[in-house]
Structure formats: structure tokens, C-alpha cells
Structure 1
Amino acid sequence: MSLQRQVQAKMFGKRDQEQEAEALAWICAVLGETFPENMAYEDILRDGQVLCRVMNKLSPGSIKKINTGGGQFKMMENITNFNTAIGKYGVPIVDKFQTADLYEKKDINQVTGTIFALGRTTYKHSEWPGPWLGPKPAEENVRVFSEETIAAGKAHIGLQAGSNKGANQSGEIGSRRMIIQGK
């Protein structure tokens, strides 16, 4: 087997079929349509049209033109437009996939991760009524302490600071090793 086939087999092995099914179900719910069951997940997404339509549902008008025909560069342009739009929508750059990951089917797992990141980002947009995908992101929980509380915290010496009253790491106090000399 060639090296390229070995790499592809390893990449396919990392794919999570359940996550892909969940992402596709979310896409279907957002668009209100279904896709043929015999069509592969990556083939549904490959030309970027479905992803662009999803983005326009989440944020109307975010992608002005979706290419439906033309060569591979037009289809890759759809994917690029999708990635640009999700960045503006709030998906962090570290969660985005590269165009080749999808179009050339190099890393479909990364594509699924990006779809989940987009689904999580929808929680932050109150204008979106749902459905959502993935867990709700944590919200900031700012805590304000009084000066007395801060001063009390500075006066306390934790065990990490070295004040363990003679105990060793196991918590035993005063235990010593016995060294027995041979005769």
C-alpha cells in the first residue's frame, strides 16, 4: 500500500461517524431539508453550497453569491466564502478548516469540528431561535471580592507554600528511613 493510501486510511480511521451524523442532522434541521441516504457526508458538503446556505440561514445575507456551477475553483470559492462568513459570525480561527480539508477530502474530521464550532457559536446569537449543535459554551462568571476577603486570603498559608508542619508528601509526620548496615 502506498504511503498516501496509508495516510488516508489513518485519517478515515479518526473520523467519528456519530459526530458526522449529528452534524448532518443539524444541517438538515437548519435548512429544513433532507439529503439522499446513499450520498456520503463529505460529498454532500464538498462543493460548499450546503455550508453557504446554512450560513445564510444563521446570518441572512452573510454570503452574497453561492456558486452553483463552474469549475473546481468556483466550488472552492464557496468554501472560502463560508469560512470568511463564520469568522465574522464569531467562530474562532483555530476552529476553522482549510478549503483543501473538505474539497480534497484531506481532513473531514476537521470539517466536522468546524460545523460543531459553528453550532456552538449560535448560542451567542439571541436572534437565532435554534436548533443548536453541541454543548452551550460557558458564560463569564466575574467575581468581585472585598478588600477584607483579599487580605484574609493573603494571610493564610497553604500547604503548597511549604508549611506542612513536618509532614512528608504522604502526610506522615516525623517518619525516618532506617539504614541498616551490613555485618
Structure 2
Amino acid sequence: METSSQVNINSKYSEELAEECLEWIKVITGENIDTSGDMDNFYEILKDGTLLCKLANHIKPGQVKKINESKMAFKCMENINAFLEAAKIFGVPAQETFQTVDLWERQNLNSVVICLQSLGRKAHNYGMPSIGPKEAEKNVRNFTEEQLRAGQGVISLQYGSNKGATQSGINFGNTRHM
């Protein structure tokens, strides 16, 4: 029996996005996996963390030093953890990663999808195919000292004018009765 919070988390899960993630993983790793975005399939394919580690190593060779092929719980969780560390190194923001138990104990597969989507957007930085919307690139502008000084002498119209008005006589809330 799922708790109401579990139902709520699962209702955010998108089979479409999960399928996109699995197809992307298949393209990058070359592994022959079922790319159905069905929750059970998504979980079964990723739960031991081995495919996630292989993905990290395809993005940047040698990123995950040791992939545990063992199906023992702590070994699988070590794999998931190694992948999460790699994802952070690849630039996935902390708020877009997931907790190991989200995947291992199937607590929040939606957060796993979010993390993979985020990683998918970073992949092009490593010369890999990416998924999702392309991220904006930094637009660095270089101004000369002269240009910067020129901007300091301007009184912006955004500051407006109060045409001599003051704030005297303005009371907020209840005034003091004496």
C-alpha cells in the first residue's frame, strides 16, 4: 500500500521523460536495454547502479574507478553513489541530484529522472549527444575602464524624481493615542 506522499511523488513521474533518459543512456553506452519509460522497467534497469556508472564512464572515461557487478545491496548503493558523485562533477546542481535510496528503495524515481535529464543537458560539454533543452552558454562581456566610468556619471531615469515631496505626515498603522 502506497502512502499518500508516495502517490504524490509517483504522480510527478513522467514515463515520457523516463523513456527519453533510457534512450539517451542506450545511445551513449551502446547497451541493449529496454527503453520503455514504464516505472517498473526504469527501476529494474537502473536500480543496481551499474548502468549509471557505465554512463558516467562513457561521458568521461575513468570517472567511476570501480563498478561493482555484485548484486549485494551495499555494492549497488556504492554504484549509485559513485554515479551521483560523477554527476556533480559533470555540473549537475545538487538540487537536481537524488538520494541513493530514491532509486535503490524506489522512493522517488522522479528525482532520478530529473537528475538524468540534468546530466543529459550537460553531456554536450563532453562531446556527447544531449537531451532536453540546450543550456544557455555564458555570454562574457568585457568593458573598458573608460566605458565603465562613462556609466557612473549618468543619473538613471529609473531612479525617478519625487518633485520635492517628502514623507512627513505619513503614518502607518495605528497612531499613538496619548
Q: How far does the alpha carbon of each residue in 1:102-128 deviate from its partner, in whole angstroms, 9 at most, with x for none? A: 111112111111112212222222xx3
Structure 2 vs 1, CA of residues 71 and 147 (structure 1 numbering), >3 Å: closer, same or farther? closer
Which has the higher Rg, Structure 1 or Structure 2?
Answer: 1
Larger deviation, residues 75-84 vs 62-71: 62-71
Residues 97 and 111 in structure 1, CA contact (< 8 A), matched pair in contact too: yes
- Uncovered stretches (5+) of structure 2, i.e. residues with no partner: 165-178
> How far apart, in 2, do the equivalents of 1:22 and 1:159 lie?
49
Larger deviation, residues 152-161 vs 72-81: 152-161
Q: Aligned residues, how many?
A: 161
Q: How far does the alpha carbon of each residue in 1:37-85 deviate from its partner, in whole angstroms, 9 at most, with x for none? A: 5752122111111111111111122223222224211111110111122
For the aligned residue pairs, the C-alpha RMSD in angstroms reads 2.5
Identity fraction in percent? 41
Matches within 5 A, 1:8-157: 8-36=6-34, 37=36, 40-125=41-126, 128=127, 130-157=128-155
Normalised by the size of structure 1, how large is the TM-score? 0.75
Residues 17 and 113 in structure 2, CA contact (< 8 A), matched pair in contact too: yes
Normalised by the size of structure 2, how large is the TM-score? 0.77
> How far apart, in 2, do the equivalents of 1:83 and 1:69 lie?
19
Residues 52 and 79 in structure 1, CA contact (< 8 A), matched pair in contact too: yes
Larger deviation, residues 69-78 vs 137-146: 137-146
